Amino acid sequence: MGTEASSSQAHAQPATGEPSCAAAETVAPRSVRELFVAFSWLALQGFGGVLAVAQRELVEKKRWLTREEFTQEWAVAQIMPGPNVINMAIVLGGRHFGWRGALASVAGMLTVPLLIVCSLISLYGQIDHHPAVAGALRGMAAVSAGLITATGIKLIAGLRGNVLGRLACLLLGGLCFAAMAWLRLPLVWVLLVLGAAGMGLAWRRLEP
Amino acid sequence: MISLTPMDWLQLMLHFGLLSLLGVGGAITTLPEMHRYLVDRQQWLLDEQFNVSVALAQASPGPNILFVALMGWHVGLNAGGGWLAPLGALLTLGGIMVPSSLLMYATGQWLHRHRQMRLIRAFKQGLAPTVIGLLIATGTIMASAGAATAGQWPVWLIAAVATVLVWRTRLHILWLLGAGALAGAFFLA
């Protein structure tokens, strides 16, 4: 790990091939080592889920993806089996450095957190009865909930160039929110029905 | 104390390998099946250990999938401890990670090579608004689950303040988590 890849292709095109002014602002990761370090750092900041941090690090700081690309890659990572952040790491690492990039990204995501969580489990018996510890964990969980909500709000800006148009985007996003948060329908069905509807509409609007 | 044969360890890994490909929408959706297998059928894990595995992985840094490693760790502990605990963790984590990762890698490369295809562009763009709705819903569900166990308004308030700060400022996420832990230690204990 850590060798410079010879074929570090520039990230010239957005993943969709859509004309997007933001795409020119992205850069490619320089090496497999950079992927490993970036995903380690990203995972270490992610309490109760890594997604919010992933958006900040990959889009806002590293500029490896635009908001638009992030949302679209996220959609793929979400619909495939497997943990979505790990899937995202595989896609991003694999695109730039093949299987070595994917492996480095996943290893970065898992190695240090695995060591931490296994150490914590050994300590857990001694601290679990302290009420302040339980309260602190609940406070952190509440912050994580806010992080994820804010990430969703920020990604709305990436929908601007979407072929679906503003109204359909609002309708699909709103229906998904209502189905999940309010009606508590199973995720698979929500994704299947709304995803298919959005996909069908996008298919009709895209030029053949 | 339980005892596991090498065949049992293999079976443990393969079972998680199977669940790996069923976990659309995150491995957390296969949690009921894991419980059925580990606690009810094989009796390799106590109910309490099962719950602690999930809770602790959520509270510690890193992807939530690490709860699977903690389940394996506990199976190893119950089987005698020592090096069996890390072995269990690696087997369950490897089982849940490898099949879905290989599938995602192949799919990701294929999608990228054919990214100009109309079908793939429609797939990615058509799904985008739904995924964003899903994210906002996930945050809301997490906050309401917290509010149900730990008092209504403080949890919603912390979540709302965090939402606004992440959305509007570039404040580092670790500061927010630290402040949340502090607030929780005082008001949610």
The answer to whether the CB atoms of A140 and B108 lie below 8 A apart is no
pLDDT, position B51: 77
What confidence tens digit (pLDDT) does each residue in B61-84 have? 888 899 999 999 999 999 988 899
- Measured distance CA(B130)–CA(B144) in Å, rounded: 21
Per the structure block, which two tokens stand in for B61? Answer: 């840094």
Closest residue to A135, CB basis, from B56, B124, B185:
B185
Task: For chain A, give the percent of residues with pLDDT over 70.
Answer: 85
- Of residues A131 and A152, more confidence is placed in A152
pLDDT, position A144: 81
Q: Which residues of A touch B146 (CB under 8 A)?
A: 138, 141-142, 145
- Measured distance CA(A101)–CA(B35) in Å, rounded: 34
Per the structure block, which two tokens stand in for A150? Answer: 């804010």
- Of residues A6 and A165, more confidence is placed in A165
The residue of chain A nearest to residue B86, with distances taken between CA atoms, is: A118
Per the structure block, which two tokens stand in for B20? Answer: 């790996």
pLDDT-flagged residues of chain B (< 50): none
Taking only residues 74 to 93 of chain A, the set having a beta carbon closer than 8 angstroms to any beta carbon of chain B reads 74-87, 90-91
Q: What is the ipTM of this complex?
A: 0.82
The answer to whether the CB atoms of B115 and A145 lie below 8 A apart is no
Closest residue to B142, CB basis, from A144, A170, A179:
A144
Contact B19, A82 (CB under 8 A): no
What confidence tens digit (pLDDT) does each residue in B148-161 have? 776 678 899 999 99
pLDDT, position A86: 93
pLDDT, position A2: 38
Give the pLDDT band (50/70/90) at residue A128.
Answer: low
Contact A69, A26 (CB under 8 A): yes
Helix (H) or strand (E) holding A87: helix A84-127
What confidence tens digit (pLDDT) does each residue in A149-179 have? 898 898 898 888 889 999 999 999 999 999 9
Contact A189, B24 (CB under 8 A): no
Contact B69, A117 (CB under 8 A): yes
Contact B30, B22 (CB under 8 A): yes
B24 forms beta bridges with A81
- Measured distance CA(B28)–CA(B25) in Å, rounded: 8
Contact A48, B58 (CB under 8 A): yes
Least confident range from A11-15, A95-99, A195-199: namely A11-15
What mean pLDDT is predicted for residues A117-136?
A: 78
Give the pLDDT band (50/70/90) at residue A203.
Answer: very high
What confidence tens digit (pLDDT) does each residue in A65-87 have? 999 889 888 888 888 888 889 99
- Tokens 């638009």, residue? A68
CA distance B80 to chain A (A): 15
Q: Which residues of A touch B76 (CB under 8 A)?
A: none
Residue B116 Cα distances to A12, A17, A206, B110, B152, angstroms: 14, 6, 11, 11, 48
Residue B28 buriedness (CB in 10 A; 0-12 / 13-18 / 19+): middle
Give the pLDDT band (50/70/90) at residue A127.
Answer: low
For chain A, give the mean pLDDT: 83
